[in-house]
Amino acid sequence: MTPDAHIPDGPLKDKWTHYKNHAKIISPANKRKFKILIVGSGLAGGSAAATLGEQGYDIECFCYQDSPRRAHSIAAQGGINAAKNYQNDGDSAYRLFYDTVKGGDFRSRESNVHRLAEVSNAIIDQCVAQGVPFAREYGGLLGNRSFGGAQVSRTFYARGQTGQQLLLGTYQALSAQIGTGKVKMFPRTEMLDLVLVDGHAKGIVVRDMVTGEIRSHAGDAVLLCTGGYGNVFYLSTNAKGCNVTATWRAYKRGAFFANPCYTQIHPTCIPVSGDYQSKLTLMSESLRNDGRVWAPKRKEDCAKAPQDIPEEDRDYYLERKYPSFGNLAPRDISSRSAKEICDEGRGVGPTGLGVYLDFADAIKRLGRDVVEERYSNLFEMYHNITGENAYERPMRIYPAVHYTMGGLWVDYNLMSNIPGLHVLGEANFSDHGANRLGASALMQGLADGYFVIPYTLGNYLTSQFGKKRPETTDPAFQEVEKEVRERTAALLAVKGTRSVDSFHRELGMLLWDKCGMARDKAGLEEAIARLPKLREEFWKDVRVLGVGENLNESLEKAGRVADFLEFGELMCRDALARDESCGGHFRIDHQTPDGEALRDDENFSHVAAWQYQGPNAVPTRNEEPLVYEEVKLATRSYK
Amino acid sequence: MNFTLRVWRQDGPETAGRFEEYPARNIPDEASFLEMLDLVNEDLIGKGIEPVEFDHDCREGICGTCSLTIDGVPHGPGRGTTCQLYMRSFREGEVIVIEPFRATPFPILRDLTVDRGAFDTIIQSGGFISERSGSAPDANAVPIPKTIADLAMDAASCIGCGACAAACPNSSAMLFVGAKVSHLGLLPQGKPEKNRRALSMVRSMDEAGFGNCSNYYACEAVCPASIPASFIASLNRQYAVAAAKETVGATL
């Protein structure tokens, strides 16, 4: 079947305005009758809860963290894009839209991306009004920088802590609503399943992570704002708790999972140093504005100290290969180039998996104080982790899993194919295509929550007038609750020999190897064959100690890893079925002679929306064609 | 490297706690403190002992979840969060004492995990600027001097970890509250609610059971976000003005 994206008619630039002018509106008196369940409290969930609460809806918001202020949006460093054109450098909503579609390697939905670019400016206004202390110039106006492959300066930032400041703005807006009682907040509460009543999403089953209580919540609509699935690789820049469980459970209840193979590998992370390692640390790619990426030209020089390698023996490979974008080439391209260098044996550092990011020229050009002003917190972080001083010797960096463009399929209303189930932020698939541009994740999360869902939710809710919200005593709830209890009990009952982490690590290594920065048919097939065995072993041999009725992190992790073990297979299936290269999905069997991604627009200009068919059955791959009215498909070139 | 850990274990909020001793063997010196605990936990799971529960999430020093008191100091030696502490900061063979953040308003949930919901309650009482989504003027409509914006950013850097209250002999949360009151009060957008904010946040803090500041500066010494204690002075000033106005019945 072809899922219907419900894209409004009319010229691209007028679609959203037209939609808003004709959107169904719910009166204030009726808004309070609707209860909305929002899972996740990051930029998308937090901003949706704050805005919908303030509009009068009855909101329940859930997060696994101990406070909504800790959602992983907080870790974004670099910035947030908006088409303000405050720098008078030729920016516009159209250009932001075009850059985003091109950056996504022409695999995103035009209408959604255009809307994102249109609302981008309102986000900045909103954040400033909330007290987000963005960087400013001496005259008091907002500062901007060029970021992540953009040729204009459209990125707003708050030192290296933009995500933190935006999330705290959202958290404060959310807190105001919690204070007035419009939003009821449930921290340390994890969604473990979705409840459908007559085919509509009407509730969730959660586990209280302190008492272990498993209970249901009923609502008139459910919003999943639960982030990405990067932790399927075990090592990633995601927080340790980030997981796929909410979206995966929704998938198993019938929601389509779109483009799971689109994963973003961030080029500037601190290299892995050993197998004890629990996570990878990202260094903001804003560093690439002033740092120059290089590797030794000759393998023999790799072991030398960088300052002993003379200028003529250094290969500034991004500047060499992409003269017009240079060190600012998009993430997928920069990451792959670093991998190629290391594959050639020219990597640096103890593992040979690293390249240099050098600030010597920037310090010469700008002075150390300017470099400190721009990046001091990042330099400190690097020093803290590696013990090296990046003012004196170049940083070592290597790509790491960072963001996932795939997610639950949604239409223009941000509603999945399950009526009532809406998906916002990184958890959906819609705006970034096969590769996300830097400083666009924060933009999308806040756009969805502050400015899109408040308009589009009414479209669904007006269809529910006169229908009574089901009670949690409804048999549909009882049934799902029972399944969740059984599953939790099953994890505790295995009593095997291996820890949850050991399985997670094994899964991660397999996927990084076969479905990471470079993929091929044979490797993907091998992973698809191995994953069911790993799952079987997990359910036979995992050791989860303790009980369900207490705070038990091993149990939480076990449930998440069980889902990752299933999800990983879908990711590989998607990567195998997408027999082309595009953006972050690089198939080594599809590349141009100079090693760039080779798209196949004729056969793959579509969204793959996977449909669950039951345990052990091969899922169905539905296609939503991507129709480009405004943008002409072109080979993405950053040369 | 090898260490001996003395770890606080407590089965639940209502049960008595105790110290248990565990060896930490063959720990790489480039491992973080939490990675060292991961390795010890793997070891415990192997022996059939329930792993030590501790809060952690981003492991890059920004989310404020991790909250261990190490050898009596919240977040341990050095200036960052617990997750940004590396084992090379310890001596071979050292005995390391690990406890939860201790402050009466932070009840222990299990082992090293505490409930810091009191901080959320304080923010809910007034730690925000009231604005409606979509009603904001253009972001450049009100210029803000760079020095003011920078100072507000210094205050806004607070990660809400609670180390300040855990380090304070009075369990005072005034560095936390002072940082938020200063961040929002410095900005033109936050001025309209300045007095109300100071009053309600201080009252909420008192209600939660946090003590008063008596100038030990232990908070500043352990703050991983380097929030200076001068923001406490700013809080005192804002509160005094607001309380005086309230007392004489002036408009807040």
Long-range contacts of A578-581 (CB under 8 A, 24+ apart): A578/A261, A578/A604, A578/A608, A579/A603, A579/A604, A580/A604
Residue A522 sits in the same domain as residue A620: yes
Output the domain CATH number for residue B125: 1.10.1060.10
Residue A388 sits in the same domain as residue A485: no
Last residue of a domain, one of B82, B110, B138: B110
Interface test with A, best of B1, B55, B75, B131 (most A CBs within 10 A): B131
Residue B166 sits in the same domain as residue B85: no
Residue B145 sits in the same domain as residue B230: yes
Residue A502 sits in the same domain as residue A600: yes
Read off the amino acid at residue A136.
R
Q: Is the pLDDT reported for residue A115 higher than 90?
A: yes
Confidence band for A480, pLDDT divided at 50, 70 and 90: very high
Are the beta carbons of B189 and A131 separated by less than 8 Å?
Answer: yes
Residue A387 sits in the same domain as residue A485: no
Are the beta carbons of A274 and B116 separated by less than 8 Å?
Answer: no
Q: Are A305 and A388 in contact (CB under 8 A)?
A: no
Q: Is the pLDDT reported for residue A273 higher than 90?
A: no
B116 closest CB neighbour out of A66, A210, A546: A66
Mean pLDDT across the stretch A194-213? 98
pLDDT at B79: 86
Q: Distance between CA B151 and CA B186 in Å, rounded?
A: 8
pLDDT digits (tens, 9 = 90+) for A2-19: 999 999 999 999 999 999
Q: Is the pLDDT reported for residue A320 higher than 80?
A: yes
Residue A157 lies in a domain: no
Number of alpha carbons in the 13 Å side-chain half-sphere of residue B8: 24
Residue B231 sits in the same domain as residue B154: yes
Last residue of a domain, one of B49, B83, B110: B110
Q: Is B182 on the interface with A (CB under 8 A)?
A: no
pLDDT at B187: 98
pLDDT digits (tens, 9 = 90+) for A60-100: 999 999 999 999 999 998 899 999 999 999 999 999 999 99
Q: Distance between CA A482 and CA A478 in Å, rounded?
A: 6
Residue B46 sits in the same domain as residue B124: no
Give the contacts of B240 (CB within 8 A, at least 6 positions apart). none
Q: Distance between CA A442 and CA A406 in Å, rounded?
A: 16
Q: Distance between CA B11 and CA A629 in Å, rounded?
A: 61
What's the total number of domains in chain B? 2
ipTM higher than the 0.90 cut: yes
pTM: 0.97
Q: Is A100 on the interface with B (CB under 8 A)?
A: no
Last residue of a domain, one of A346, A367, A402: A402
Instruction: Provide the shortest C-alpha distance from residue B31 to chain A (in Å).
Output: 7
Owning domain of residue B217: 116-247
pLDDT digits (tens, 9 = 90+) for B61-120: 999 999 999 999 999 998 899 999 999 999 999 999 999 999 999 999 999 999 999 999
Residue B123 sits in the same domain as residue B77: no
Residue A210 lies in a domain: no
Residue B87 lies in a domain: yes
What's the total number of domains in chain A? 2
Residue B31 sits in the same domain as residue B140: no
pLDDT digits (tens, 9 = 90+) for A326-368: 998 888 889 999 999 999 999 999 889 999 999 999 999 999 9
Residue B206 lies in a domain: yes
| Token pair of A477 as six digits | 């709830």
Residue B198 sits in the same domain as residue B159: yes
pLDDT at A374: 83
Output the domain CATH number for residue A483: 1.20.58.100
Output the domain CATH number for residue B25: 3.10.20.30
Residue B8 sits in the same domain as residue B46: yes
B137 closest CB neighbour out of A65, A125, A545: A125
Give the position of tokens 């040369």: A639
Last residue of a domain, one of B110, B129, B149: B110
Are the beta carbons of B153 and A159 separated by less than 8 Å?
Answer: yes
Residue A486 sits in the same domain as residue A617: yes
Residue A211 lies in a domain: no
Q: Distance between CA B150 and CA B147 in Å, rounded?
A: 5
pLDDT digits (tens, 9 = 90+) for A550-597: 999 999 999 999 999 999 999 999 999 999 999 999 999 999 988 889
Owning domain of residue A293: 265-402
Residue A387 sits in the same domain as residue A488: no
Residue A490 sits in the same domain as residue A617: yes
Mean pLDDT across the stretch A510-538? 97
pLDDT at A180: 97
Q: Is B244 on the interface with A (CB under 8 A)?
A: no
Residue B149 lies in a domain: yes
Residue B145 sits in the same domain as residue B231: yes
Give the contacts of A387 (CB within 8 A, at least 6 positions apart). B30, B86, B88
Q: Is A66 on the interface with B (CB under 8 A)?
A: yes
Output the domain CATH number for residue A288: 3.90.700.10
Last residue of a domain, one of A350, A381, A402: A402
Interface test with A, best of B58, B111, B181 (most A CBs within 10 A): B58
> Which regions of chain B are under pLDDT 50?
none
Residue B151 sits in the same domain as residue B234: yes
Residue B252 lies in a domain: no
pLDDT digits (tens, 9 = 90+) for A123-178: 999 999 999 999 999 999 999 988 866 889 999 999 889 999 999 999 999 999 99
Residue A379 sits in the same domain as residue A517: no
Residue A530 sits in the same domain as residue A616: yes
Residue B69 sits in the same domain as residue B143: no
Residue A58 lies in a domain: no
For A75, the closest chain B residue by CA position comes to B62
Last residue of a domain, one of A378, A402, A426: A402
pLDDT at A57: 98
Q: Is A550 on the interface with B (CB under 8 A)?
A: yes
Mean pLDDT across the stretch A439-453? 97
Number of Cβ pairs < 8 A linking chain A and chain B: 221
Q: Is the pLDDT reported for residue A469 higher than 90?
A: yes
Residue B60 sits in the same domain as residue B179: no
